[in-house]
Chain A
Amino acid sequence: MQIATKEVSAVDMVKTALEKAKRFENYNIFISLNEENALRKAKEIDEKIKKGENPGRLAGVPYALKDNFLNPEGNSTAASKILEPLGSPITATAVEKLEKEGAIMIGRANLDAFAHGSSTENSYFGPTKNSKDEARVAGGSSGGSAVAVALDIVQFATGTDTGGSIRQPASFNGVFGFKPTYGTISRYGVVAMASSTDVIGFFTKSADDMDLLMSICAGQDPKDMTTLPDYYNQTPAKDVKRIGVIKDFDNDKVAPEIREALKSEVKKLESKGCEIVELDMPTLKYALAVYYIIVPAEVSSNLSRYDGIRYAYRSDDAKDLADVYSKTRNDGFMPENKRRIMIGNFVLSSGFYDAYYLKAQKARTKIIEEYSKAFEKCDFILTPVAPNPAFKLGEKVNDPVSMYLEDVMSVPINLAGLPSLSLPVGETKDGLSLGLQLIGPRRSDKNILAFAKELA
């Protein structure tokens, strides 16, 4: 991470980042820029350096904030119409920790509204374009964050990952994207999608940078009762010998170039002395179905607070209370939001709960058990992040199921709460980014990043 020093001023770093952000405006990366605050803070950092005070481990480092993090600087829209007017009185715990170390938010990055999507095409503010090919999607839901890092506008960006929302856009844009163990970083102040799978993570250009961000942001937070006791910085080092690969994922539904990339990475690992373990994980094929029951259920619940009564958008032509609810929510949500709310309400409704939600929870337990068994045989698992490289804008918008299939390799990890690093492994012959993910047991976050450093 390049931090501000006496030689390189924070003001210059921030100015450069803002200039780049404007230069790449056509990619639609940012929902809003944070110029005034960013420059003011940069000046403060430079003052500190001048006075010889400690400016923090991220002094003057410009970053992009996925726009589902709350922070009083600008509106926290979650890329939705319904939250477009929302100014927040509070700061998310993760943001607080970053800023305490001197990091400077230069803009709020685009996403699929409420993080519902795999392409950033569900944003109320329009899609973000892929950093390698403007005709293609950035991936999602953290598309803006991935592209901001890929185009070197910022040194890092925040993301959230509920079913692949960090890892898939990272792989589509050739950057590192890390989804930590569930509960490692506080979710306080981050717009909830699905509480039981949501995690906070980052996009960076290196595993080293990722480790630094994790060591700053990980930790128990009294404001989030699902956070784990502090463990990240105390993780003992681990000698990695066995890498698992999943037999089922080597099939013709996965793009040949991705299968090639996996094979060459496996060879590289073997040459480094790793043992490759073939894993049979038959339950994983149910993960997508389980995910699209549990996540919409939680989504429908978490989105019910957006009712137009207390804050943000309310429909102007509501005549009575029922109107306030139906018109506000109908105007305020994107079609994909509504689709998930409806699925969620359906699977939770009386008479269907046992058949869908409860059964999905049982299957989820099986998936968790299957991973536990797999990690008896290997230290990490290496798989593709998504079945294909970045697809064309508009290609899947009218086919929700094929869009959901994009998540088939990323969602099981969220259901099991495991850490997973999406790391860049080269490009297709057309110059599209390729990524693979390294999955570890719960709380092996630091070891994954250490191993990725070795691989680099």
Chain B
Amino acid sequence: MKYEITIGIECHVQLATKTKLFSEVDNDARGKEPNSCVSPVDYALPGMLPRLNGEAINFAIRAGRAMNCKINGQSRFDRKHYFYPDSPKGYQITQFYHPIIGEGYVELPDGKKVRIEHAHLEGDAGKLTHFDTYSLVDLNRVDTPLLEIVSMPDIHSAKDAHDYCKALWRLMCFAGVTNGDLYNGNMRFDVNTSLAKPGEPLGTRTEVKNLNSFRSVERAVEYEVKRQAKLLDKGEKVVQETRGWNDATGETTGQRSKEEAKDYRYMPEPDLPPLNLSAEFIAKQLENFPLMPSDYREKFAGKIADDTLEILLDYPALMQKLAEVKDAKRVSNWFASVLLAEEKSAEYLNDLPTAKQLDDLAEMTEKAELSSTGAKDVFLHLFDPQMKTRDARTIAKELNVLQENDSSALEAIVDQVLQDPACAKAIEDFKNGQEKVLGFLVGQVMKASQGKANPAAVQPILRQKITDR
């Protein structure tokens, strides 16, 4: 390609705090009536004052740590003014000029680093639904804490844009600061893209706002690159503007040009004292900080297959569990190929079996007390509300899937099968060198043992007994 692509991404993360950023109202409006999670502070009754939520500070610090960022001891809130019904106060309270989180970086799976410029706390806006002659306002989302993460323009391809967003999503989920539900807007991406010929200064950028999937980020960049390249090829100029994304058509369209940008009349928020955080306070917030994806990659390198690991790294709960169990390799396979294939896997993630249950199951499988099918059966029953409290061996017994490995017991069954006249022909054939009939004989033993015999243990006994006859 004859143009170099430069991309910077701003990401708004909704923090999953119990209450809102400035009031004591429930921050989780999922499934609730419009305007039911709104206090007088949120709808901006006169005389109401913001009360800063300490949990949001804690989450911001943890998110900052996840991105290897400097945590600023001093930060401050400003008011950003604009009139719109989604903004009850007539201004947004934001840390844009004096953010709590300073410079850092996010590492992509291929080792590339994208630097973080800063990240700041601010309140979210409400939601408007437009009809023919009127609009409805829902303020449930007002002042949900947002962490706005601003990257440096270190991204140079649509794929890297995708990977950065995904890496960021994983970091926020692993740090435990967001529900990470992209479909419901828990993380929203604004993507700035510009093109320039190699060696030339950066070109004019456009901003595609409010993307809520990694795929749409990638497609929007691809579209913008093509669109801008076409303009530049023709000698035309790219207009600096905000563009919207249409997921159905796969196109971006111009919204408003930055030239008419509003004057937000920023001023310091006089109702909130500046935030001064001591080193001790910050250290305390980072106690019990969980492992991040890169830590898990290091920990499980060579132990868990790379492709399995990449699948499981979308699920912090599964990774945490893997770190607790003895046989991570075997358990990772159950997670990736059994659990995630289940229809109800999302529910199951919230209530995983104990490490002890999984360790027992892995040990029984290792000792061939369970066949792989039997192990899978027991594994799934560890999620069964009726059975999950029992230990793995008890479940295996109840399901009657424990294998017979005891050689004297197996020998008795083999003897019994070999005396069966129905097997005489097969025995004769095997003696004459037809190896494949052994399978038939093993099958007969399995049948006689009601499926409990371990076929691997049966085979050598059969061979020996036939030879000895």
Contact = CB atoms under 8 A, between A and B. Distances in A.
A34 interface: no
Interface in B267-295: 267, 270-273
A88 B45 contact: yes
B263 interface: yes
Interface in B365-391: none
Given A297-B267, A310-B88, A325-B83, A190 B47 contact: yes
A68 B46 CA distance: 9
A191 B47 CA distance: 4
A192 interface: yes
A301 B263 contact: no
Interface in A73-124: 76, 78, 83, 86, 88-90, 92
A189 B47 contact: yes
A188 interface: yes
B271 to A, nearest CB: 5
B267 A321 contact: no
A225 to B, nearest CB: 6
Nearest to B269: A195
A232 interface: no
A187 B79 contact: no
Given A196-B270, A301-B79, A307-B83, A350 B49 contact: no
B223 interface: no
Given A190-B47, A311-B45, A304 B266 contact: no
A222 B51 contact: yes
Contact of A304 (B47, B81, B137, B273): B81
Contacts of B45: 70, 88-90, 311
Contacts of A190: 47
B91 interface: yes
B34 interface: no
B265 interface: yes
A298 interface: yes
Interface residues of B, number: 28
Given A195-B270, A226-B271, A309 B49 contact: no
B25 to A, nearest CB: 13
Interface string B64-97: 0000000000000001010101001111000000
B44 A310 contact: yes
A92 B40 CA distance: 12
B43 interface: yes
Contacts of B40: 89-90
B176 interface: no
A92 B47 contact: yes
A225 B50 contact: yes
A70 B266 CA distance: 28
A70 B49 contact: no
Of the listed residues B43, B81, B265, B273, the one surrounded by the most CB atoms of chain A closer than 10 A to its CB is B265
Contacts of B88: 305, 309-310
A88 B265 CA distance: 30
Most B CB within 10 A of own CB, among A89, A348, A353, A357: A348
B43 A310 contact: yes
Contact of A223 (B46, B49, B89, B90): B49
A32 interface: no
B137 A309 contact: yes
B262 to A, nearest CB: 10
Nearest to B135: A321
B52 interface: yes
A191 B44 CA distance: 11
Interface string A231-263: 000000000000000000000000000000000
Nearest to B22: A225
A300 B40 CA distance: 20
A300 B83 CA distance: 12
A315 to B, nearest CB: 15
Interface residues of A, number: 44
A197 B423 CA distance: 101
B85 A309 contact: yes
B272 A225 contact: yes
Contacts of B51: 222-223, 225
B142 to A, nearest CB: 11
Contacts of A345: 265
Given A225-B52, A226-B271, A325-B83, A348 B47 contact: no
A193 to B, nearest CB: 10
Contacts of A188: 47-49
Contact of B90 (A89, A194, A196, A307): A307
B317 to A, nearest CB: 35
Interface string A266-310: 000000000000000000000000000000011011001111011
Nearest to B49: A224
A85 to B, nearest CB: 13
A349 interface: yes
A92 B46 CA distance: 11
A340 to B, nearest CB: 14
Contact of B81 (A70, A86, A301): A301
A297 B79 CA distance: 11
A304 B271 contact: no
Interface string A56-80: 0000000000001110000010100
B91 A70 contact: no
Contacts of A321: 85
Interface string A327-347: 000000000000000000100
A192 B50 contact: no
Contacts of A298: 267, 270
Contacts of B267: 297-298, 301, 348, 353, 357
Contacts of A90: 40, 45
A353 B78 CA distance: 14
A185 to B, nearest CB: 13
A62 B51 CA distance: 32
A225 B83 contact: no
A223 B52 CA distance: 10
A250 to B, nearest CB: 34
A195 B44 contact: no
A83 B40 CA distance: 15
A86 B46 CA distance: 10
B112 to A, nearest CB: 36
The 5 nearest A-B residue pairs measured at CB: A304-B90, A195-B270, A348-B265, A196-B270, A305-B44
Given A304-B81, A305-B90, A321-B85, 18 more contacts: A68-B46, A68-B47, A83-B46, A86-B46, A90-B40, A189-B48, A191-B46, A195-B270, A226-B270, A297-B267, A301-B265, A310-B43, A310-B44, A310-B137, A311-B45, A348-B266, A350-B263, A353-B266
26 contacts: A68-B46, A68-B47, A70-B45, A83-B46, A86-B46, A88-B45, A92-B47, A187-B49, A194-B270, A195-B270, A196-B270, A222-B51, A225-B51, A225-B273, A226-B271, A301-B79, A304-B81, A304-B91, A305-B46, A307-B90, A310-B43, A310-B44, A310-B88, A311-B43, A348-B267, A357-B267
Interface of B: 40, 43-52, 79, 81, 83, 85, 88-91, 137, 263, 265-267, 270-273
Interface of A: 68-70, 76, 78, 83, 86, 88-90, 92, 187-192, 194-196, 222-226, 297-298, 300-301, 304-307, 309-311, 321, 325, 345, 348-350, 353, 357
